[in-house]
Amino acid sequence: MASQQQIQQPSGSPVGRAVLGFLRFLLRFLFVVIIGALIGWGVYSAVPWFYRTVVQPVQRNTVLVEALGERLEERHARLQEQDIALQQSIADVEARVTTLEGDADVKAQHIQDAAEQIQQLDSRVAGLEKDLEAQEQAVSAVRSALDDAVDDLGGQADQVAGQTAELEGRLALLQTAQDLLKVRLLLLEGNARGASDTLALAAVHLDQAMPLLPEQAARLSALQERMVGLEALIAEDSYRVAPELESLWADVMDLVLPAVAQPAEESSS
C-alpha cells in the first residue's frame, strides 16, 4: 500500500506528469526513428535487390525480345527473298522445259522429214540400179556385137580396122555413159567429191572416143564442153545438175545406140 502511494504521488504531481509525458514522447520518437530507420534500411536494401531481381531481368528480357523480334523480321525478310528467288527459279525452269519441249518437237519433225527423204532416196537409187543393170546388159550386147562383127569381117582387114575403131570409140562412149550413171548415184548419196572424180574419168573416156570417131568430132567436142560446165554445176551444188546430167547421158547414148543397131542391120542383109 505504501509503495502504491509512493508511485501515485509523483504521477499526480505536475512535474511527474511532465516527466512521464516527455519519457513517453521520447520513447515514441525513438520508436518512430527506429521504425523509420528499419524501413529506410529495408528500402535501401530492398531497392537494389528488387532492381537486380525484377527490373534487370525484365530489361534483359525486353532487350532479348526486341533482338529476337529483329532476328525474326530479318529471317522473315530472308525467307521472303528466298521464296521470291525460288519462284523465279521455278519460272525459269518451266520456261526452259517449255523451250526444250518445243526443240524436241522440231527435232522430231526434222527426223521424220529426214526419214522420208531417205525413203525417197532409196527408191531413186533402186531405179538407178535398174538403169545401171540395163546399161550393163547393153554393154554386154555391144561387146557381143563387137565380137560378132570381128568374126564376120574376117578377111576384110581394112574394113575391119575401120569398123573396129568405130566400135571401140562407141565402146568408149558407152563407158562414158556408165561413168555418168555412177556420177548420178554418187550425187544421190551426197558424195560430191566422188562424183567430180568419176566425171573426170568420163571425160577421159570421151577423149579416147574422139580420135576413134572423127565423123562425130563436132558432137563430141560439144559434149566435152558440157562436161566442163557440169563439173562447175556440181561444184556450185546447183539444182540444174540432175537435168543436165540426164540430158548429157541421153546424148552420149544417142551416139552409142547406132553401134548396137548396125550388127542387126548387117545380119538382116
Q: How far apart are CA 214 and CA 230, in angstroms?
A: 24
User: Which residue, chain included where needed, has cell 526443240?
Assistant: 103
Q: Which of 230, 163, 233, 164 is nearest to 202 (CA)?
A: 230
Lookup: cell for 25:
514522447
pLDDT at position 219 is 83
pLDDT at position 7 is 43
Spell out where the chain has E strands: none
CA angle 181, 218, 207 (to 5 degrees): 50
pLDDT at position 253 is 87
Per residue in 147-173, pLDDT (tens digit) is: 776 666 555 545 555 567 777 878 888
For the entire predicted model, the pTM comes to 0.38
Over the chain (269 residues), what is each successive 10-residue block's mean pLDDT?
43 76 86 84 74 74 79 83 85 84 79 80 77 74 68 56 72 84 86 84 84 83 85 83 85 73 44
Lookup: cell for 82:
528466298
Q: Which of 234, 142, 144 is nearest to 180 (CA)?
A: 234
Cα pseudo-dihedral 195, 196, 202, 206, rounded to 10? 150
Task: Specify the long-range contacts of residues 206-210, CB closer than 8 Å, at least 24 apart.
Answer: 206/172, 206/173, 206/176, 206/252, 208/169, 208/172, 209/169, 209/170, 209/172, 209/173, 209/176, 210/169
pLDDT at position 47 is 72
pLDDT at position 115 is 79
Measured CA distances, 144 to 1, 33, 141, 230 (Å)? 190, 158, 5, 32
pLDDT at position 2 is 40
pLDDT at position 262 is 45
pLDDT at position 152 is 65
Task: Specify the long-range contacts of residues 189-196, CB closer than 8 Å, at least 24 apart.
Answer: 189/125, 192/234, 192/235, 192/237, 195/234, 196/231, 196/234, 196/235
